[in-house]
Amino acid sequence: MADQENIEKTGIAEQETAQGKGLVARVLPWLMTALVVVAFAAMGFLVGRLFGTRGNMQTAGAAQADPEEAARLQEPPLVADTGESWYYDMEAVVVNLNEPGVTRYVRVGLTLEISRTMGEKDGTSFLDQKKPLLKHWLTLFLANQTIEDMRGERNLMRLQTQISDVFNEGLFPDTKPRIKRVLFKEISIQ
């Protein structure tokens, strides 16, 4: 009887030990994988901080290296406002509208009405340089619109104001807006 009890106790102890080893054997690979991922993420962060640069730092470094480049990257100087405007044409942009289940797109060409506070010669070169950003901002803005947002005079006037605000905030932060209005040169929806 005592031998049988010893055998049962030994069997139970062996089962508990096997279950414990089974649990460790199942958890250990996941724990090791998590530690490796965290280690690589930390190394990537440190390497990026040590050797990487950010967009502003790159621009500042380029501007310091070449004074002509620095002058070109800055906003054009302010000129006395005579109340008149000049116009800057943008190429048409084609964007898919935000319509679930249906593929619809809009083609929009714009003309920007610019205040005379930004001289036409300097302003044109500045806007030519920033044209990729303008197209990018316009594409992102239009991709968020639905076909109903594009229909009717009231909606188109609202879009003009919103596009003007996006451009002014992006190009001239913390200063008086220099884009007076956004005019639709062409607009077609398919």
Q: What is the secondary structure of 40-95 as a DSSP string?
A: HHHHHHHHHHHH---HHHHHHHHHHH-HHHHHHHSPPPB----S-EEEEE---EEE
Is the pLDDT reported for residue 35 higher than 70? Answer: yes
Give the model confidence (pLDDT) of 45-69 as tens digits.
655 565 554 443 333 444 444 555 4
| Distance (Å, whole) CA 20 – CA 32 | 18
pLDDT at 21: 65
Indicate the pTM of the whole model.
0.57
With contact defined as beta carbons under 8 Å apart, do 134 and 142 qualify? no
Is the pLDDT reported for residue 137 higher than 80? Answer: yes
Is the pLDDT reported for residue 160 higher than 90? Answer: yes
Percent of the chain scored above 90 by pLDDT?
A: 48
Grouping H, G, I as helix, E, B as strand and the rest as coil, residue 111 is: strand
Phi first, then psi: what are they for 147, rounded to 5°?
-65, -35
| Distance (Å, whole) CA 17 – CA 169 | 67
Split at pLDDT 50, 70, 90, the class of 167 is: very high
pLDDT at 54: 44
Mean pLDDT value of segment 71-97: 74
Enter the tokens of residue 169: 């905030």
Query: Environment class of residue 178 by beta-carbon count within 10 Å: exposed (0-12), middle (13-18) or buried (19+)?
Result: buried
Is the pLDDT reported for residue 17 higher than 70? Answer: no
Mean pLDDT computed over every residue of the chain:
78
Query: Environment class of residue 126 by beta-carbon count within 10 Å: exposed (0-12), middle (13-18) or buried (19+)?
Result: buried
pLDDT at 11: 61
Q: Which carries the bigger pLDDT value, residue 87 or residue 43?
A: 87
